[in-house]
Amino acid sequence: MTSNPRLPHRWLDPLGWLLLLAAVLCSALLNLALTLPLLLLGGALLCWGAGGLRRRLRLLADALAMGGVTLGLLGTGFIAVNLQRDGWFQGFARPRAQAPAPAPASRAPTLSAPVAPAPLVVDEPGRHVADYGTDRAAGAWVSGADQPLGYAYQPNLGPLRSRLVGEQTGRPIYDVEYTIDSRGNRVSTHQPTGPAPLALFVGCSFTFGEGLNNADTLASAFARQTGWRTVNAGMHGYGSHQAYTLLASPALLTQRVGNRLDLVIYRMIGDHAARASGRYAWDRDGPCYQRRADGSLEAQGPFSRCRRRWGWLSATNNVLETLSQSREPFTAT
């Protein structure tokens, strides 16, 4: 009776599938992208390359094995970078002992060199630790294909505290409160009591006033300087497509503003064009438009049902967006 040398390899194929499942769960539950998931995926490819496939397609098995080794090395390298960025290796980088400086030859007084101040971190990624941006803000806004703008704050909300601190140093960046009125707009202060012209502010977080209290937004500053009434319909992540939808829909405009409108102020940034193309994961239900032959725009419903939503460019941007939201310091923004 002869033994089958390939028999011990039968367990490698199901092990590969288990490692693939572990990689998916690790990415979904731990919000990781290029560290442990890559290491597990590399192990899965190695298992398949050394398993039953090797008896039938040796070239393909070799390719899977090489790919598994490559992914494993990449995952290990990214883990090392991740740990280094988190400061795990600081204890190993101890400076060498230096010889004491020789004493001055004379007793004449000397001026000591000024000590340079510690560098100020001005470009550090932040993380939310209060209501906004955390699980405690669940239900603060509504989203879905039935929402004309894709997503919006709930009316009569607030104050919703937003506190941002540095990811690495924990230093406070801002600590403010957001208040939403009965129409779903950001509350603007310094509103006149009598009849006055009305200005509508549309745009993204710059218009909304992210990181600012209600009294410090553009709409509040405009009301304070001019004596006009203002409506702040800005929202985090909005683009030109949301601004256009709000202005092109009489019913929605009446709901958010009322029956009088004298001036529209649109605070634009360059990224609004990309947002209007449906390239961002947070705006899957935002309004989608197609340009007709005559140059006019035709509403196509939300991006999730729009034929422009899917494509290589959109898929690439979704991957980059996923990486930017991961817990890995080298991909997060």
Structural contact between residues 40 and 22, judged by C-beta atoms closer than 8 angstroms:
yes
List the beta bridge partners of residue 46.
none
Task: Examine residue 330 and state whether it is found in any structural domain, yes or no.
Answer: no
Residues 152 and 289 in one domain: yes
pLDDT category at 204 given cuts 50, 70, 90 is very high
15 and 71 within one domain: yes
Q: What is the pLDDT of residues 267-316, one digit of tens each?
A: 999 999 889 988 887 898 999 998 889 988 999 999 888 855 455 555 56
Could you say which of 85, 116, 150 is where a domain stops? 85
Q: How far apart are the first and last CA of the chain?
A: 62
Closest by alpha carbon to 62, among 48, 44, 73?
48
Please indicate, yes or no, if residue 108 is contained in any of the structural domains. Answer: no
**How is residue 74 annotated by DSSP?**
H
Cα separation, 150 vs 162, in Å, equals: 22
Answer yes or no: do 46 and 142 share one domain.
no
Clarify whether residues 155 and 302 are in a common domain: yes
Considering the domain architecture, whether residues 142 and 37 belong to the same structural domain is answered as: no
What is the number of domains present in the chain? 2
Element housing 314 (H / E): helix 312-324
Neighbours of 298 (CB within 10 A): 9
pLDDT value of residue 288 = 93
Is residue 231 in some structural domain? yes
CB atoms within 10 A of CB 284: 18
| Percentage with pLDDT > 90 across the chain | 40
Residue among 180, 205, 222 nearest 267 (CA):
205
Helix (H) or strand (E) holding 308: none
Q: What distance in Å separates the CA atoms of residue 37 and residue 28, rounded to the nearest whole number?
A: 10
269 in any annotated domain: yes
The reply to whether 92 falls in a domain is no
Instruction: Kindly provide the b/e burial profile for residues 9-30, where b requires at least 16 CB atoms within 10 angstroms of the residue's own CB.
Output: beebbebbeebbebbeebbeee
* 61 lies in the same domain as 144: no
Q: Is residue 91 part of a domain?
A: no
User: Are residues 257 and 130 part of one domain?
Assistant: yes
Q: Please, which pLDDT band fits residue 59 given cuts at 50, 70 and 90?
A: confident
Q: What confidence score (pLDDT) does residue 266 get?
A: 97
205 domain-assigned: yes
- Position 173 in a domain: yes
Tallying the residues shown for the chain, one arrives at: 333
Q: Percentage of the chain with pLDDT > 70?
A: 78
Question: Mean of the per-residue pLDDT values for the chain?
Answer: 81
Quickly state the pLDDT bin for 7 (edges 50, 70, 90). very low
| Domain match, 46 and 171 both | no
pTM greater than the 0.85 cutoff: no
Q: What is the dihedral of CA 242, 244, 246, 248, to 10 degrees?
A: -150
Q: For residues 333 and 330, give the distance between their C-alpha atoms in angstroms, rounded to a whole number.
A: 8
Instruction: Tokens for 55, please give them.
Output: 């008896």
Token representation of residue 3: 């033994």
Does residue 255 share a domain with residue 132?
yes
How far is the CA of 215 from the CAs of 193, 208, 228, in angstroms? 17, 12, 15
- What the block records as the tokens of 223 is 């009301």
Give the structural domain span for 218.
Answer: 126-324
